[in-house]
Amino acid sequence: MEEKHKLLQDCRVLDFSNEMGFLCGKILGDLGADVIKVERPGGDPSRNLGPFYKDKPDPEKNLYWFAYNNNKRGITLNIETETGRDILRKLIEKTDIMIETFPPGYLAGLDLDYESLSKINPKLIMTSITPFGQKGPYKDYRGSDLVLTAMSGFMSLLGDPDKPPVRPTLPQSYMWIGMHAAEGTMMAYYYRGLTGEGQHVDVSGQTGVTWAASIAPSFYDYNKEVPKRAGSFITGRSITGAIMRAVYPCKDGFVTYIIYGGPAGIRTNKQLTEWMASKGMAPDYLKNKDWDKFDIATVTQEEIDEIEAANMEFFKTITKDEFFKGCLERDMLGYPVATAKEILDDEQLKARGMWIEVEHEELGEKITYPAFFTIFSSIACGFWRRAPKIGEHNEEVYGELGLTKEDLLRLKKANVI
């Protein structure tokens, strides 16, 4: 087999992002870019986010940092000093992409914004990621995951109707934003390849999360309907307003099964009825149902409730694993409500080579990570190096600029690196 090619191996990225932008640089790194994570001296504050390796609150043992800063080298640089700015300008000469998450206007105050740096390197692409974007009435407002999950509209669709809306407990917004930032950055990079021109990519965190609300905006756009949170149920499939259960308790947890229409849905409904009948658990009204005539768009809530009541009794008698195997064997739509444990044990992911054991020599241990995001026939997408320690590659990177060990010592004393 032909060896796969690291597409971005000649692309140098300087990554000044906080947790909101980590995934952007990681994705470029997965595709082979030389990504250099730049932290302030002493380390980035985002290293203090949990969870931590063996619960030790140490900035060098932050699992969130490990998760999204692999495939990056690490340096420290204080751009609030004149010397630091000089060094950055030198680095920019050989930089293709700069990623940053500073508040809008901060870099302009240091003469390091896109306008200034593109004079040094007109081919530079700068990707700026902020909660609301570089311009507009909210540009100076701050936003954590909770704020962006709310402002994007995503949160209005999550949670039980009789309780306040919720966010997913593992923050999702930063992943959405980082992914979309990489998308915009790749477009700018492709355009640069065609024209030689760099540009500024302005990513708004709020809009980065909005696609997590899927097609919900179209309900308002079309009919001035406002979709609402419905807990364990899905809405919007029926013009009668009927809602369908999507989470059922089972013997050892929960499963996701949804009554659907369409060819796959009808096949699934038939199969489940047969499965239940084979265990003596299908009531007559299910056995006698003509599923081919079942129409999800016009079904009433009463009919749905009747079917779901029988399903509920059946699922209580099986485990997550039995449910998953049944769905696979019977070609039914449905999956267990998995946790990290089941994901790591999943046969399909194992067969696809999803896991890689990565040596953390500083911890004396190997840690399991996802090995790629997608399989390309010619492009290599992989895990090339663990996340950097604070300033781990100062000597290497600054050495490439011609700085000696003595210079680095002086810079360290001056709190530049």
Partner 1 sequence: MRREVFEGIKVVEFAAIAAGPLIGMHLAQHGATVVHVESYKRPDGFRQNYPPYKDNKPGLNRSGAFTICNNDKYGITLNLKAKGAVEVAKKLIAWADIVIENFTPGTMKKLGLGYEDMKEVNPDIILLSSCNQGQTGPHAFHPGFGSHLSSLCGFTYMTGYKDRLPCILYGPYVDHIGVGYGVIAAVAALEHRRRTGEGQYVDLAQYEVGIQFMIPALLEYRVNGRIIERDGNKHAFAAPHNTYPCRGEDRWCVIAVFSDEEWEKLARCMGREDLIDDPRFATILARKQNEEELDAIVAAWTAQFDAHELFVMLQERGVQAGVVQTMEDLFNDPQLKHRGFWAPTDHPEVGRVHAEGPPFLLSKTPFAVKKPAPCIGEHNELVYKEFLGFSAEEYDRLVREGVIG
Window 164-203: residues binding partner 1 (CB under 8 A): 164-170, 172, 175-177, 179-184, 186-191, 193-195, 197, 199-203
- The three-class DSSP label of residue 12 is strand
Place of tokens 């929960």: 254
> Quick one: which segment of 85-93, 280-288, 343-351, 409-417 binds partner 1 (CB under 8 A)?
343-351
Q: Which is nearer to partner 1, 60 or 202 (CB)?
A: 202
Is the preceding omega at residue 168 within 30 degrees of 0, hence cis? no
| Token representation of residue 100 | 């940053």
Minimum CB separation of residue 283 from partner 1 in Å reads 23
**Binding residue for partner 1, selected from 280, 378, 406, 413, defined by CB under 8 A:** 378
DSSP state of 60: G
Determine the 3-state secondary structure of 100 from DSSP.
strand
Closest to partner 1 by CB, 71 or 394: 71
Residue 93 vs 345, nearer CB to partner 1: 345
CB atoms within 10 A of CB 198: 22
Closest CA to 8 of 369, 379, 370: 379
Q: Identify which of residues 317 and 368 has a Cβ nearer to partner 1 in the complex.
A: 368
CB 33 within 8 A of CB 46: no
Q: Closest distance between partner 1 and the C-beta of residue 276, in Å?
A: 19
Interface with partner 1 (CB under 8 A), residue total: 155
Tokens of 318: 């099986």
Q: Which of 380/408 has CB closer to partner 1?
A: 380
At its nearest, how many Å lie between partner 1 and the CB of residue 251?
15
Q: What backbone torsions phi and psi does residue 413 show, to the nearest 5 degrees?
A: -60, -35
Q: Residue for token digits 């050495």? A: 399
Pick one of 17, 78, 95, 206: the residue that binds partner 1 (CB under 8 A): 206
Nearer residue to partner 1 within complex by CB, 310 or 367: 367
Residue 402 CB, nearest distance to partner 1 (Å)? 30
36 binds partner 1 (CB under 8 A): no
Residue 85 vs 229, nearer CB to partner 1: 229
Among 36-44, 102-110, 346-354, 400-408, the segment contacting partner 1 (CB under 8 A): 346-354
For partner 1, give the closer residue by CB, 222 or 406: 222
Nearest distance in Å: CB 403, partner 1: 32
Using CB under 8 A as the binding rule, whether residue 217 contacts partner 1 is answered as yes
126-165 residues near partner 1, rule: CB under 8 A = 127, 132-133, 135-139, 141-160, 163-165
CB of 277 to partner 1, least distance (A): 22
Interacting positions 223-252 with partner 1 (CB under 8 A): 223-229, 231-234, 236-239, 246-247, 249
The whole-angstrom separation of Cα 151 and Cα 174 is: 14
| Nearest to partner 1 of 247, 408 (CB atom) | 247
Q: Residues 280 to 339: which contact partner 1 by CB under 8 A?
A: 296-297, 327-328, 331, 333-339
Cα distance between residue 310 and residue 259, in whole Å: 12
**Residue 248: in which H helix or E strand, if any?**
strand 248-250
Segment 379-408, which members bind partner 1 (CB under 8 A)?
379
In terms of CB distance, is 107 or 416 closer to partner 1? 107
Contact flag: residue 373 with partner 1 (CB under 8 A): yes
On the CB side of 119, CA atoms within 13 Å amount to 5
Contact 181, 209 (CB under 8 A): no
* One-letter identity of residue 336: P
Task: Identify whether the C-beta of residue 22 lies closer than 8 Å to the C-beta of residue 174.
Answer: yes
At position 390, the amino acid (one-letter code) is I
Q: For residues 265-277, b (16+ Cβ closer than 10 Å) or e, as one string?
A: bbbbbbbbbebbe
In the complex, the smallest distance separating the C-beta of residue 77 from partner 1, rounded to whole angstroms, is 25
Is residue 87 within 8 A of residue 416, CB to CB? The reply is yes
Choose between 53 and 106: whose C-beta lies nearer to partner 1: 53
- Candidates 216, 250, 282, 318: give the one binding partner 1 (CB under 8 A): 216
Residues 251 to 270 in contact with partner 1, rule: CB under 8 A: 254-256, 258, 260-262, 264
Residue 221, Cβ density class (10 Å: 0-12 exposed, 13-18 middle, ≥19 buried): exposed
Three-state SS at 306: helix
